[in-house]
Amino acid sequence: MQLHIGNKNYSSWSMRPWVLLRHFGIAFDEVMHRFDSFEAGSRFRREMAALSPTGKVPLLVDGDLVVWDTLAIAEYLAETHPELPLWPRDQAQRARARSLCAEMHSSFGALRSACPMNIEATLPEAGAKVLAEQPTVQADLARLTAMWGAALTGSGGPFLFGEFGIVDAYFAPVVARLRSYALPVDADVAAYMGRAWASPGVAAWVQGALAEQDFRDFEEPYRQHR
């Protein structure tokens, strides 16, 4: 299989299936498409348009099959590897985990917009300003921490539904955002974030992101690089 991704420092959607594949030891080849611009005619847009009907990353290629959209990729991996606990084994827990992923997929736009993923950056001042000035970001943060807290309480941890799975990979970029912008969370959620950050797939992605040193000004609303 090939997984087509964008820059590891910035591409939150690419991070999710990459982390999942790496954590569970599913063999794949990584194909990086460097972000140069998201404008029509950019190299990134041209490369992805030749591969995907959406022109976006991530994209999974398995033989003649092309799977786009992060959640579709996760479901495909779960179906092709039923021996692995990508989703919780329990039916009710599996439904809850899917609900959390679906909510992440369609919600939290304020947090995502105001605090774009930037693993290399440390931006506590920007985080404090965003949180003070944007009630919608406050609401997103409150919902996230309540969601995580309820899942951890229900499962007993150490991850959201016991074992590390799709839902934890799905929220790994959110963990990155909360860390970069130093957004406040309670002790139980902070402990979960620490475990997620240290998990094998997430730690490997972070290592790659820090090694890139490929700063893209259009992905940097709070600082510029020369």
The number of residues making up the chain comes to 226
Q: What is 2-84's CATH topology? A: Glutaredoxin (3.40.30)
Tens of pLDDT along 162-204? 999 999 999 999 999 999 999 999 999 999 999 999 999 999 9
Q: What are phi and psi of 159, to 5 degrees?
A: -105, -175
CA dist., res. 212 & res. 68, Å (int): 25
Q: What DSSP designation does 218 have?
A: G
Strands 2-5, 59-62: parallel, antiparallel or unpaired by DSSP?
antiparallel
CA dist., res. 187 & res. 93, Å (int): 24
Tens of pLDDT along 143-162? 999 999 999 999 999 999 99
For residue 141, pLDDT over 70 is answered with yes
Going by C-alpha positions, the residue among 172, 173, 161 that lies closest to residue 199 is 172
Exposed e or buried b per residue across 51-66, where buried means at least 16 C-beta atoms within 10 angstroms of its C-beta: bbeebbbbbbbeeeee
Q: What DSSP designation does 35 have?
A: -
**What CA–CA distances, in Å, run from 94 to 88, 98, 127, 168?**
5, 6, 33, 13
- So what's the pLDDT on residue 225? 65
Going by C-alpha positions, the residue among 191, 16, 32, 27 that lies closest to residue 101 is 16
- So what's the pLDDT on residue 40? 86
For residue 216, pLDDT over 60 is answered with yes
Across the beta sheet with 65-68, what order do the strands follow? Answer: 29-32, 2-5, 59-62, 65-68
The pTM for the full model equals: 0.96
CATH of 91-206, one of 4.10.640.10, 1.20.1050.10, 3.40.50.300, 1.20.1440.230: 1.20.1050.10
Going by C-alpha positions, the residue among 129, 154, 141 that lies closest to residue 186 is 141
Tens of pLDDT along 78-134? 999 999 999 999 999 999 999 999 999 999 999 999 999 999 999 999 999 999 999
What is the residue extent of each domain of the chain? 2-84, 91-206
